[in-house]
Chains A and B, each alone.
Chain A
């Protein structure tokens, strides 16, 4: 296959950035999308040019590092698939592919396609945990948990913190990410005692980081590679009300 890549190049956070075009031939359908970038980068290095910077690590769809906005879609065309798990089988000979970084005020570009997502860490720091010190736990089977709740908590916990939800949202809202963590912990008896404070603190941090507000467009759910459901946002909104944010 022969493809045209239009890639966002930006030297650093100050640089304004621009698209550059590259022709790549001999693309195998078995290649992953990131392997395509490996091949292109190898060529750029051999030509004495600057390779394209992008975040990646596990290449198994689980670490959440990879983050490319491909032809107008976070992580590209495949349903529930991260950029690293997208394979070139998805494309046809002669296609043009436009690749950009996540675009959101709260995710400043570091270089090319790599952005700074440390705002997500700070949202977790605001309350995305259960306050239990090591060594204080009771026997793991002391509190049985309804399988339905356990499975729902797991489904919410599957979030990989990639930020595609933010990139896909026209408001750059981080509600799907934030609500997934709040839901996971609220669904488990261990997480109940702190749930109100947690919801309040995490949402406050989210606002402080400059993420936009949620207007329920559902774009986040559609692009989330882990199928995190917007019912988590509904659940958060319930927590929001019971937490009595406004009255405090």
Chain B
């Protein structure tokens, strides 16, 4: 039976009680305990820094050339925290409630409450590190709103919040490197978990510059390797984001939770051609002020600015008057798809909708005019002032849009379309963030934890930093307290030798195939299957087809992939090949999970399960559980169910009307 180990007692006191009763490790013993951290994004960098500060000996790994380049750097919009600085009715309970509801009642109450509880301390910590959040003229922190909530609780640093938070965590990490408490391994990729007597005791990593394999021991291993959205080939994730670390852990016995829960983000720049290598997100914060619309007439080929107001369909405001343009992501994405499928899409591909700032520019312009007592400002002057305000708030996003599309978003509405963005699924973890392998933990986007079937905007950064700064430093003690007598295991232990041999074997096989097609060829083919059949809308027939097609593609890959160069040198194609090999296996499991979950919830939309007006229809009687998959060999997995119970929040049909 899967035991999430949620502490007993009332929701509000679970975590404080846990903290005051959890086992501790004394400082002298901490120095003898080694922890391996895979990943230096928000989750990994914060965990590595916090554990090193406590006195543990930490080794941190990332595949980029610097820890500062982890994908968290790209997060734009902001980070949530229940500070209630705006005095608009926010509280820990409300953040908890919004998150459980936003996740369509597929997350654990205990975990989510803890997340909301520690959120405020994250902001304090980041400010103390010198993170330059946006401020008001009074010198206090500024907030903005994000989808799925009715309060302003999102802290931000222009459109670069992830960058600033990550640089804060990176600085803390570099400080520990300089103090000798962390040893940093850049340009290293973890390729296997080493287990001794059933416990995680180390890793095999490849030095990406020399191509050589290395063995590393740790009393515990933390997987902080991010999300797997790149299984779709095209996503908003960085090019290198991958599932390999998590997938190797899965094959070593860690269950994979809710693999099919994928978030498709509503506001991304549409695909422009076959050369497309990734998709660019336009931050959700743009929905604060922008209005989304399509023409009321099908196949309307007029320029956006030539379409009069009364011929525009602001479909989110029409369908969801209470939340309007700020409905959660899954709802906004499906609504865009619905309009485009029905023939109302815009742009050359007709697979786009407009995100329009004209009204916001005038509104801000008028506010400025009245601030400056310019009662007779001309329309042009108002627009100029409004543009300046919009530029201050969203300038870097507008510039990015202009560079990519060659269009000026201050003058014409932006074209946007949904794209794969985030994966709620990931390694199954208990309250301690431990996977089903003792000593093996998963943090950040790599775990399945807190977002249920749909993540609210600005909550991933919160979760990554909560896990790293404030949760793992306590929960890891619970395990390591019993490990103080475990001496470092010598690297010539058979478990290390075997693991390295297996990794070497796979690399040899890949290099030896010398087939006809590049790695990208297979990755693109996989992405197309996933997007068409396991994307924004899924049905049983499509998913069954997808499983068969992926199995065939996998076979072809192992017969026909071509990797140039040598194994023992800097070889990006070989790196990609290993990642795509794992994506092929993961893709199949995602489809199986989506097939099994014959209900719609959050980002998972099964066409068979919808309300009369096309909204996702949950089936709590049959599916109020976490699907935790156990690896049983190639194309074979066993489903375990962790039932979800709701004592405080009562699941209801989500309504944003």
Contact = CB atoms under 8 A, between A and B. Distances in A.
A139 B177 CA distance: 27
A35 B137 CA distance: 43
B380 interface: no
B71 A118 contact: no
Contact of A185 (B64, B130, B281): B130
Contacts of B170: 124
A190 B403 contact: no
Interface in B259-285: 272-273, 275-278, 280-281
B125 A134 contact: yes
A90 B612 CA distance: 50
Contact of B564 (A49, A58, A117): A49
Interface in A89-137: 89, 110-111, 114, 116-118, 120-121, 124-126, 128-137
B564 A48 contact: yes
B186 A145 contact: no
Contacts of A191: 130
Given A63-B73, A134-B50, A121 B184 contact: yes
Nearest to B562: A45
B518 A42 contact: yes
Contacts of A138: 124, 128
B83 interface: yes
A124 B473 CA distance: 24
A62 interface: yes
Interface in B478-520: 518, 520
Contact of A134 (B49, B68, B69, B276): B49
Contact of A157 (B73, B167, B209, B570): B167
Contacts of B64: 57, 63, 65
B239 to A, nearest CB: 6
B171 A30 contact: no
B238 A45 contact: no
B532 interface: no
Report the interface size class on chain B.
35 or more
Given A30-B273, A60-B280, A140 B127 contact: yes
Nearest to A112: B570
A233 to B, nearest CB: 19
A181 to B, nearest CB: 9
B647 interface: no
Nearest to B469: A134
Interface in A52-70: 53, 55-65
Name the prevailing secondary structure of the A interface residues: loop
B643 interface: no
Given A28-B275, A117-B65, A141-B85, A184 B73 contact: no
Interface residues of A, number: 79
B317 interface: no
Contacts of A141: 85, 140-141
B381 interface: no
A124 to B, nearest CB: 5
B132 A184 contact: yes
B587 to A, nearest CB: 22
A118 B66 contact: yes
B132 A153 contact: yes
Nearest to B237: A58
A121 B67 contact: yes
B158 interface: yes
Interface of B: 46, 49-50, 53, 64-69, 71, 73-74, 83, 85, 121, 123-130, 132-141, 157-158, 160, 162-164, 167, 170-172, 174-175, 177-178, 184, 186, 209, 238-240, 272-273, 275-278, 280-281, 399-400, 403-404, 406, 469-470, 473, 518, 520-521, 562, 564-565, 569-570, 572-573
19 contacts: A12-B569, A38-B520, A39-B275, A42-B521, A51-B564, A58-B69, A58-B71, A59-B280, A60-B280, A61-B400, A62-B74, A62-B160, A85-B403, A111-B569, A114-B65, A121-B186, A154-B132, A154-B164, A185-B130
Given A31-B273, A58-B239, A121-B67, 14 more contacts: A30-B275, A31-B275, A35-B277, A59-B238, A59-B280, A60-B281, A116-B65, A120-B66, A132-B128, A138-B128, A140-B83, A153-B132, A158-B163, A188-B130
Of all A-B residue pairs in the complex, the 8 with the closest CB atoms, nearest first, are: A144-B139, A129-B171, A137-B128, A137-B124, A154-B132, A125-B178, A30-B272, A140-B127
